[in-house]
Amino acid sequence: MGRRSLVRDRDVAFRRLIELGIALSAERNHNCLLEKILLGAKELTNADGGTLYLVSEDRRELRFAIMRNDTMGIALGGTTGAPIPFAPVPLREFDGAPSYKSVVTTAAIAGNTINLVDAYNTPDFDFSAPRSFDARTGYRSQSFLAVPLKNHDAEVVGVLELINARSPDGRTVAFSAEITPLVEALAGQAAVALDNQMLIDAQKNLFRSFLKVFASAMDAKSRYTGDHCQRVPELTNMLARAADNATEGPLADFHLSEDEWYELEVAGGLHDCGKVTTREFVVDKATKLETVYNRVHEVRTRFEVVKRDAEIEYLRSVIGGGDEPALRAARDERLAQLDDDFAFVAGCNIGSESMAPNKIARLERIAEITWQRTLDDRLGLSWEENARQPQMREMLPAAEHLLTDKPSHIIEHDAPPLAHDNPWGFVVKPLPHKANLGEIHNLSIRRGTLTAEERYHINDHIVQTIIMLEALPYPKNLRRVPEWAGGHHEKMDGTGYPRGLKRDEMSIPARIMMIADIFDALSAHDRPYKARKMLTECLDIMARMSREHHIDTDLFEVFLTSRVYREYADKFLSADQIDEVEIERYLANANPASGPQHDGAATTAEREAGRIAWSVSRVSSAAATSELPDRNQSEQRQDPETTNSPYASQKR
């Protein structure tokens, strides 16, 4: 070969090396990267075969990552998806000493390139494995080039092993000394590319694990949440896959890139992260008088005091010479009335029945009953509670009402509430106070156990979610996480919260997450005191929401036609919830053009939609029947029509 030809060949090789370096640095898929490294090295050296090994995380062995052999027609690992059926090669002997038996382990341990002209004539290494392979297949492993892949810390992360360099006329020859530095250069670039990718993968895995831990911590905060935060990302992924697979219809053009799938996973994992700010005793509030404990015990003690007062009054009157039988009869009547009044108050506390005006009037009458307090009610208070007491000290003994709404029951906001022109575009209207612990106020709650202030606090989790997520410094590939995660309480017609967004103002992933969020909340079987819903009941409600422009109709259709509802049900619902679904019925009912449905199922769905999906109604354990308002504390949606909702949408 002439000198000019050699120079030309070297120029071509350099150019190819540069091209490969650029390609390696741009490759983000791990398997594609492995393949580019091996095929690039094979091409540079015109090798018949090659294997790329990666050093295991514990640095104890070399693992086969990808293998090719042209003559034998072998293509394993990499993008082929075909597993490599060979055990990893140990880097250490049984006694822990470095293993220099094979070419690849020696290259990995010593960090040097090894170039062998003929393996069979090399006594330094154990070639029993290649020999036995050759014996079985008729192949002849001859020339070897083993090049360690060193990262920027000079740490070996893998080994490139090339077999049987070929001359232009197809003969097996030795790997030339000229080509070795080029392969080493390629190996260096490959190591850096691999290292970068492994670092990125390690960060992704760490973040994934963090998300899982965080979601399970959110779920652990309250038993009313069940495993909602962990299931919503899964259902989001299922529905997004179905939408991505749609080949016709309005979602045919919807596709997510690899980065966007990860972005969606992150958004799903964080979709309720604001719940970290939600006070558990509000989420878990099972009775109306509950704060951090059920104050019905305090109220009952007051009734006991009043009953003792009645007894004392009777005894005093008898001692004073009164008509004992008449006094006893009056006392007994009084005690029976107090027993009945307490039973009524205790019943109101449960919150299982709606509070009609006559019930509230009775509560107010009972509240007028007084008892005598002889002890200072400011003793033993915290500074904060003391600050809420009236300035004027009262004289003792003082007449106390059985039930009260005192100024000290009002808790003011810790910080100024959201301004109208807040930077996040929230349209929610803050309430005047943070909390109202008034006893009559709480016992008069018309439905469920939560006051407006408590509903506001629970619904505020989505405001906090958005504020938290928008405060994070995202890399470019995660910048849409706040939008995708923060829209699951909006509605397609703009009456949702916290931004009152309409369908066209929301991305498809955000609309997907909304459906996932609602369906999980409806179908969950792991919430205490919540009757399990059948699959068809959940779909009835969803169909109504679609018809009424609450959820996206196109995506709900995909949810039905792709049978994602069933895939999810098989995985997460209990078997007794899964009943026969005729999707045509739901498809028809889901269409906004279909108008209100008046069949029995639709009527049930309408009722349910109001009280579950958008309602924050809460009932106690005793009230968990299908006829009662359901508790859905995890989502705490509410019905603007039936509550004085601070979250009732206000149009911007």
Contact 288, 349 (CB under 8 A): yes
Pick between residue 77 and residue 268 the one whose CB is nearest to Fe ion: 268
- Segment interacting with Fe ion (CB under 5 A) among 316-324, 330-338, 473-481, 512-520: 512-520
Which of the stretches 271-279, 311-319, 358-366, 640-648 binds Fe ion when contact is defined by CB under 5 A?
Answer: 271-279
Alpha-carbon distance of 635 to 628, in angstroms, equals 18
Beta carbon nearer to Fe ion, 227 or 272: 272
Give the position of tokens 């810790």.
414
Instruction: Please choose, out of 265-273, 361-369, 393-401, 589-597, the segment that lies near Fe ion by the rule CB under 5 A.
Output: 265-273
Closest-CA residue to 235 (of 518, 591, 480, 466): 518
Answer for the pair 433, 441: CB distance below 8 angstroms, yes or no.
no
Instruction: Name the minimum Å distance from CB 230 to Fe ion.
Output: 11
Residue 369 CA neighbour count, 13 Å, CB half: 22
State the minimum distance, in angstroms, from the CB of residue 441 to Fe ion: 27
| The residue to which tokens 């293998």 are assigned | 67
Stretch that binds Fe ion, among 170-178, 219-227, 264-272, 578-586 (CB under 5 A): 264-272
Angstrom CA distances, 328 to 295, 313, 319, stand at 32, 10, 13
Residue (102 or 465) nearer to Fe ion, CB: 465
The rounded distance, in Å, linking the Cα atoms of 449 and 442 is 8
Residue 460 is a binding residue for Fe ion (CB under 5 A) = no
Largest CA distance in the chain: 139
Closest contact distance (angstroms) between CB of 513 and Fe ion is 8
Q: Is 517 in the site for Fe ion (CB under 5 A)?
A: yes
| Choices 72-80, 268-276, 556-564, 568-576 (CB under 5 A): range interacting with Fe ion | 268-276
**Nearest distance in Å: CB 488, Fe ion:** 5
Q: Which of 27, 161, 272, 639 touches Fe ion (CB under 5 A)?
A: 272
Find the shortest distance in angstroms from Cβ 222 to Fe ion.
Answer: 12
Three-state SS string across 315-348, please? HHHHHCCCCHHHHHHHHHHHHHHHHHHHHHHHHH
Q: Which residues are paired to 398 by β-bridges? A: 373
- Amino acid 288 reads K
- Minimum CB separation of residue 228 from Fe ion in Å reads 6
Task: For residue 464, give both structure tokens.
Answer: 């906090």
Residue 3 contacts by C-beta under 8 Å, 6 or more apart in sequence? none
589 and 547 Cβ atoms separated by less than 8 Å: yes
Between 105 and 465, name the residue whose CB sits nearer to Fe ion. 465
Toward Fe ion, which CB reaches closer, 27 or 483? 483
Smallest distance, Fe ion to C-beta of residue 571, A? 18
Q: Are 558 and 565 in contact (CB under 8 A)?
A: no
Q: Which of 613, 193, 635 is nearest to 455 (CA)?
A: 635
Reading the block at residue 201, the tokens are: 């993968």
- Comparing CA positions, the residue from 153, 152, 159, 149 lying closest to residue 105 is 159
219 binds Fe ion per the rule CB under 5 A: no
Pick the piece of the chain touching Fe ion (CB under 5 A) from 272-280, 285-293, 496-504, 598-606: 272-280
Q: Of 550 and 585, which CB lies nearer to Fe ion in the complex structure?
A: 550
The residue among 454 and 517 lying less far from Fe ion, judged by its C-beta, is 517
Query: Cis ω on the peptide bond leading into residue 88 (within 30° of 0)?
Result: no
Residue 634 beta carbon to Fe ion: minimum distance, rounded to whole angstroms: 6
Cβ closest to Fe ion, residue 35 vs residue 517: 517
- Pick 184 or 272: Cβ nearer Fe ion: 272
Q: What is the 3-state secondary structure (H, E, C) of 142-199?
A: CCEEEEEEECCCCCEEEEEEEEEEECCCCCEECCCCCHHHHHHHHHHHHHHHHHHHHH
Stretch of residues binding Fe ion (CB under 5 A), selected from 60-68, 147-155, 387-395, 509-517: 509-517
Q: Which is nearer to Fe ion, 102 or 459 (CB)?
A: 459
Q: How big is the site for Fe ion, counted in residues (CB under 5 A)?
A: 2
CB 552 → Fe ion: shortest distance, Å? 17
Decide whether 68 or 511 has the Cβ nearer to Fe ion: 511
Q: How many angstroms separate the CA atoms of 90 and 55, rounded?
A: 10
Q: Which is nearer to Fe ion, 272 or 557 (CB)?
A: 272
**Residues 197-216 contacting Fe ion, CB under 5 A:** none
Q: How far is the CB of 254 from Fe ion (least distance, A)?
A: 22
Q: In this structure, are residues 443 and 403 in contact, taking their beta carbons and an 8 Å threshold?
A: yes
Beta bridge partners, 89, equal 62
Instruction: Report the nearest approach of Fe ion to the CB of residue 266 (Å).
Output: 15
Query: Which window, 204-212, 513-521, 607-615, 616-624, contacts Fe ion (CB under 5 A)?
Result: 513-521
Contact positions vs Fe ion (CB under 5 A): 272, 517
